Amino acid sequence: MHDYALLTTAGLESVALDALASECGLRASALPAPTARKGESFGSAGGLGILVASRQEPLAARALSAPVLQAALAVVVRCEVEDGDVLAAAVGSVSEERWRSAMRTHAAHAAPLPPSAPSFRIASLRAGQHDFDSRALSSALGAAVSALQPSWRVDLEAPDVCVLALLVNRSLLIGALLPPFSPRKSDPLPMEPRQWLVRGERAHMRPHRAALLARLLAPASGEVLPCSPRLAPSDASPEPSPGILAIEAALLASVTAHSVDLDPAACDAARANAAAAAPRLRGRVTVHCGDAARLGGEVGLPRASVDCVLADLPFGMLHARLDVGALLSALAVLVRPGGRCLLVGNAGPGGVGRGVAAAVVKASRRYPPGAWRVVRQTACASGGIACEAVQLARLGEAAPRLGRLEKARGKARGKVVLEPGFGLAAWLRLSRGADLTGGVGPLDEEEEEAWPKWSLADVASHTTPEDSWMAVRGKVYNVSPYLRYHPGGVDALLDAAGTDATALFQQHHAWDLI
């Protein structure tokens, strides 16, 4: 008997099971997700959904390389460890019989081990309340494997056998990593094999997760599908997702997928990945560098020309809050009646998303009224972060015009044509990592205690284009560097320079900000 554990994204197990059954002919089952106590986060270990399958014959290579999988393991141990010494119980569960059975499954898929001194590595992910860390778990399991295989040696770089241990509360899974997945020294989890992923291995959007979301949206052949990734908020974060959503959608169906990103480097990477994937694509991928919330203007898509939208939020703005109302209003113009959107965002307070999914649901009732219906909300995870995929259906018989949208919102926003080179993308490139505050406020506006104390008399003396200050909601901003980039024009800001502009700001920006 060959026992397998197939890892995927937590919350999307049913999507993965359907894909495995329809695309690979594999029937598997999902293990119950662990329950976290209030305020507890399981991290990466809790972001994994586990599918299991037992078969008399080894699985076909097609099943192990299914796009919806993050890893495949030959099971050594799958059990609930008893209370008490959890570490000792985990190590004691690795019996010789179970180890030999897993190695037979591993041998059915992997290249033969070297005749002398094969190498191995232990990688562990742990979550819950334990009196030991992941390193201690790896060390103890390494000792157990060495006892079973005395001639084997440890190799962290390129082991012949990689053993992955997952311990969440009392739920334990130990298995040997199977091809086509290969271990990475920098991460307990392997990178999904994608020959076309030539740029962006540290991307936030994992390829298997993009494949799952594409299947959740289920685009049909011939549809037009804009895809936008979440942009990394800082250089220390994972890279932007270079075309991964669009490519996975075009691998799934014969769609016209538009990959949209504000980051020029991410767009270059997306073009390289799309070119590498071209021989395998069922559809077509085009890459646009611009604001995904302005698909009509910056990308040039006509009204009511879009069948469906797939986006990992927040996107379209670096170092800025996402205007959910403006996003849905813009999409209402572009998405045809009967079309749909799948918008994925953080599901809870704090973090990058600040409850983006809840804001999407709330804003869909108003921006614009009668345009959207929430079809379903699917809880899922991203690296252990609680997320939600919100699917919206586009209602109505015709796409509203922008003027009608603004009237429906009750807040007409006068916009001007900006000078070439002074659009939103240019502003984000200028402001990323640069200190444009002029000493008026802190670099991170979320640091409440870091804001200097200014009086309105101080503000009143800064009214020139070279030196413009204004107060908004009790905080003072230097808007001089932003004047030529402001969508409402330079004069709109200069008229408010030197004053408390809170009322004016709320008049034009009173939509949901998160």
CB 82, CB 118: distance < 8 Å: no
Give the pLDDT band (50/70/90) at residue 279: very high
Q: Could you give the number of structural domains in the chain?
A: 3
> 153 and 68 in one domain?
yes
386/314: higher pLDDT: 386
Q: What band does 21 get if pLDDT is binned at 50, 70 and 90?
A: very high
- Same domain, residue pair 184 and 213: no
Please check the confidence at residue 472 and state whether its pLDDT lies above 90: no
Domain range holding 41?
A: 2-191
Looking at the fold, whether 68 and 162 belong to one and the same domain comes out as yes
With respect to residue 23, please indicate whether it lies within any of the assigned structural domains: yes
pLDDT at res. 104: 96
pLDDT score for 161: 95
398 and 264 in a common domain: yes
First to last CA, the chain: 52
> In degrees rounded to 5, what are phi and psi of residue 436?
-110, 15
Mark whether 217 and 160 lie in a shared domain: no
Q: Within a domain: residue 414?
A: no
128-155 pLDDT, tens per residue? 788 888 889 999 999 999 999 999 999 9
- pLDDT on residue 412: 40
Tell me what the mean pLDDT of segment 109-134 comes to. 90
Residue 341 lies in a domain: yes
Task: Output the six-digit token pair for 40.
Answer: 């507890």
Last residue of a domain, one of 162, 191, 220: 191
Is 415 within the bounds of a domain?
no
Looking at residue 404, which CATH number applies to its domain? 3.40.50.150
Residue-wise pLDDT tens digits, 188-225? 888 888 999 988 766 678 899 999 999 999 998 888 78
> Sign (positive/negative) of CA torsion 383, 384, 390, 391?
positive
Domain boundary among 377, 409, 441: 409
Q: What is the pLDDT of residue 449?
A: 63
Bridge pairing between strands 153-154 and 71-80: unpaired
Together in a domain, 8 and 121? yes
Give pLDDT tens digits for 151-202.
999 998 889 999 999 988 888 999 999 999 988 887 888 888 899 998 876 6
Instruction: Give yes or no for a contact between 155 and 135, defined as CB atoms under 8 angstroms apart.
Output: no
* pLDDT higher than threshold 80 for residue 359: yes
Nearest to 343 by CA among 216, 428, 252: 216
457: exposed, middle or buried (C-beta count within 10 Å: 0-12, 13-18, 19+)? exposed
Check whether residue 376 and residue 351 sit in a common domain.
Answer: yes
Residue 407 is predicted with a pLDDT of 40
- Lowest-pLDDT range of 288-292, 443-447, 483-487: 443-447
d(CA 152, CA 157): 15
User: What CATH number is attached to the domain comprising 496?
Assistant: 3.10.120.10
- Confidence bin at 229 (pLDDT 50/70/90): low
CB 469 within 8 A of CB 477: yes
Helices (H), 230-316: 244-252, 264-277
356 and 313 inside one domain: yes
pLDDT of residue 113: 93
Does residue 446 contact residue 475 with C-beta atoms inside 8 Å?
no
**What DSSP assignment string belongs to 174-222?**
EEEE-TT-EEETTEEEEEP--TT--S-TTBSS-HHHHHHHHHHH-PPTT
417 in a structural domain? no
Q: Is 418 a member of any domain?
A: no
Q: Residue 196: inside a domain, yes or no? A: no
**What's the whole-number mean pLDDT along residues 407-417?**
49
Which CATH number goes with the domain that contains 138? 3.30.2130.30
Neighbours of 104 (CB within 10 A): 13
- Of 118-122, 279-283, 488-492, which range is least confident? 488-492
- State the CB neighbour count (10 A cutoff) for residue 242: 30
Segment 424-446 shows an average pLDDT of 74
Residues 169 and 282 in one domain: no
Q: What integer pLDDT is reported at residue 202 of this predicted model? A: 63
272 & 356 share domain: yes
- pLDDT at 168 (0 to 100): 86
Q: Which of 92-101, 268-277, 293-302 has the lowest mean pLDDT?
A: 293-302
In a domain, 92, yes or no: yes
* pLDDT greater than 80 at residue 228: no
Is pLDDT above 70 for 14?
yes
> Where do runs of H (alpha helix) occur along 387-501?
402-409, 424-431, 456-460, 490-496
Taking the C-alpha atoms of residue 134 and residue 125, their distance in angstroms, rounded to an integer, is: 6
Same domain? For 129 and 260 the reply is: no
The answer, yes or no, to whether residue 60 has pLDDT greater than 60, is yes
Same domain, 341 and 396: yes
What DSSP assignment string belongs to 340-375?
EEEEEEE-SSSTTTSSHHHHHHHHTTTSSTTSEEEE
- The pair of three-digit structure tokens given for residue 343, joined into one six-digit string: 């918008």
Given 386, 409, 432, the domain boundary residue is 409
Instruction: Please give the model's pTM, rounded to 2 decimal places.
Output: 0.75
pLDDT given at position 236: 33
Q: Is the pLDDT of residue 31 over 70?
A: yes
Mean of pLDDT over the chain:
82
Chain position carrying tokens 């009967």: 338
Q: What is the pLDDT of residue 330?
A: 84
